[in-house]
Structure 1
Amino acid sequence: MKLGVFSVLFAEKSLEETLSYIASKGLEAIELGTGGFPGNAHCNPDELLADNGKLKAFKQTIESSGIMISALSCHANPLHPQKAISSVQDAELRKTIELANRLEVPVVNTFSGCPGDHEDAKYPNWPVAPWPNDFQEILKWQWEEKVIPYWTEVGGIATNAGVNIGLELHGGFSVHSPATLLRLREAVGGNVIGANLDPSHMWWQGIDPVQAVHILGRAGAIHHFHAKDTTIDPINVNHHGVTDMQSYALMLDRAWQFRTVGYGHDMKTWADIISALRLVGYDYVVSIEHEDGLMSVDEGFTKAVENLQQVLIREPLGEMWWV
């Protein structure tokens, strides 16, 4: 396995400064934002696809740093019911897939998106209960009319480009759990749809990340991995529930909050996650994502690196000499 980072943390630094900084921390990989919510501070598809000279220079900058690109990421909602929004985000995703092909990057990370509840809807609708039955009707319409057709088309584009799609299992989107990821993967067919698995979103939904790794890994459905932690407040969660709608900034009152690695769960838990990844055959990049409201970017990132260095399994598997 290799340790990497999602570069959105360092949007105020240049690409060269970012690569130099993460290399100094011992990292071997970088995940680059290309649009959507992460932005494209270090990797602008429009510029790179339009100018072969810029694309070549970009490749040389990456290669000379000794850092590999683990994924291009444009997390957004390409199924947003407002066409003015979804058309832009869909275009960014398609350009990102093309750029990944040109850069020989194997994974594009994003969200599945979430549609509205009918053709003329203005806002996404995320059903989370089977009753009243209206919610079941909405869910059926969304998957049959929007989710499956869209990802079947985009999955085909990605397959032709030699790129896998890593969907982050995130609340508020149609794919948010191992079951919904596997449902879409089966509907689309092949291996192109997989997870960008982030334990932080499993914990707040009440899903054990180790078991999520086993469920998805046994199906060969983990394309990328984010390292981010979550802490559950034992009092506030009983007040607000896990679907707490308060701002992330209200950390003292929220039911749960994102933390840097090791500050939500101990290192034994993280060692179990890393071991489960190795057990199911995932030996790719563990990409740090820092969204800890109690730590600066540098401190939160540095602590995540230090903690993960303790548990990351780097060397290739050898023979079981004791057998």
Structure 2
Amino acid sequence: MKLGFLTACLPDRSLTEIAQWAAENGYEALEVAAWPALGDRPFTATHIDPGTLNPDEIGELFQRHGLALSSLAFYDNNLHPDPTERAAVNEHVLKLIDAAAALKVPTVGTFVGRDPGRSVAENLAEAEKVFAPLVDRAGEKGVKIVIENCVMEGWHPDGYPGNLAYSPELWEWMFDLGLYLNYDPSHLVWMGIDPIEALTPYVGRVAHAQAKDIQLFPEKRNRYGWPGRAVVREDPWDVGWWRYRVPGLGQVDWSAVVDTLYEGGFDGVLSVEHEDPVWGGTEEKIKTGLQVAHRTLRPLIVA
């Protein structure tokens, strides 16, 4: 197993700069943000653009710093209710599959997504049609599509799940389509799902894993309920009773997570996804957060 991080937390730095900093600070891999240029949209970055891809140059960069490129990351709504937006998202996934093959990257990460105006059953039926050509292309190219189990509550007008991959029930459904899991325990915690119990039967379908922690405030949940703020919710992502943290500053049992991954035969990359508001806002704080995560996780991973 290798320890890496998702580059989206440093959107203003080049991939060259990030790779150098990662190597100097003990990281072994990068999950590279590969969104199209979307302006100032949070949690996104464009560190690899499939339209201007130079595989030799990127390969040399990673080899020079002794890093693995674990995945191309484009977490967006493949079931977007607007047909034009949906087509653009689906097409970008296809481009990244081709790019991953050219770079010899094993996985491309995305979301299932959801049309919030339709039922879960209707969305799942539509997803079977949407993902068929994506899975076929990935199979032809020797790439795996990994779906993160993020809830994406901010995509739903009432804060309900906006990405239909938030529970083991839905993992089984997407595995049947030929998709794999980018396992992130933090989302399971606030959903009320034991992250170890959920992971154990499915380690064989985890092709990539993310490390993000979470801090709960049960006294606030007693006011808002599980879906979070309802009357005044200016930020769709502010549920009001929990927040993400870097590993080591929240409530995830990382020893148990890493042990379960090892016991199940996982030998891929555990990638820190930094969305901690305490250690965010400035580049200096973000890098400190990544260092905290490294100090937490590095002792758990066999060299």
The reply to whether TM is greater than 0.5 is yes
Tell me if 1:306 matches 2:295.
Answer: yes
Correspondence 1:262 to 2:248: yes
Report the equivalent of 1:43. Answer: 48
State whether structure 2 residue 48 is matched by structure 1 residue 64.
no
TM-score, normalised with respect to structure 2: 0.87
Is the counterpart of residue 198 in structure 1 residue 184 in structure 2?
A: yes
Pick from 145, 148, 156 the counterpart of residue 128 of structure 2.
148
Larger Rg: 1
Mapped to 2, the partners of 1:225 and 1:99 lie a distance apart of 21
Structure 1 stretch displaced more, 295-304 or 67-76: 295-304
Q: Which residue of 2 aligns with 1:160?
A: 140
1:152 Cα deviation from its structure 2 partner: 2.2
Which amino acid in the other structure matches residue 72 of structure 1? Answer: L
Distance apart, 1:59 and its partner CA: 2.0
The one-letter amino acid of 2:296's match is: N
In structure 1, the partner of 2:158 is: none
1:229 aligns with 2:209: no
CA distance in 1 between partners of 2:145 and 2:111 (Å): 10
Give the aligned partner of residue 11 of structure 1: 11
Counting only pairs closer than 5 Å after superposition, residues 126-145 of structure 1 correspond to structure 2 as 138-144=119-125
Structure 2, unpaired ranges of 5+: 152-161, 280-284
Preserved contact between residue 147 and residue 174 of structure 1 (Cα < 8 Å): no
User: Which of 247, 263, 266 matches 1:279?
Assistant: 263
**What does residue range 82-93 of structure 1 map to in structure 2 within 5 Å?**
82-93=82-93
For residues 24 and 210 of structure 1, what CA distance do their matches in structure 2 show?
32
TM-score (ref. length: structure 1): 0.82
Task: Determine the C-alpha separation between the residues in 1 that align with 2:236 and 2:184.
Answer: 18
8 Å CA contact 2:174, 2:180 repeated in 1? no
Tell me how far apart the structure 1 counterparts of residues 201 and 236 of structure 2 sit (CA, whole Å): 29
Aligned length: 279
Match of 1:178 among 151, 168, 173: 168
Distance 1:39 1:230 in 2: 20
- Secondary structure of 1:298's aligned partner: helix
Deviations 1:56-84 (A, max 9, x none): 22222222221110101110012101022
Indicate the RMSD between aligned Cα atoms, in angstroms: 1.8
Tell me how far 1:39 sits from its aligned partner: 4.0
**Helix, strand or coil: the match of 1:303?**
helix
SS at match of 2:169: helix
CA distance in 2, matches of 1:212, 1:244: 23
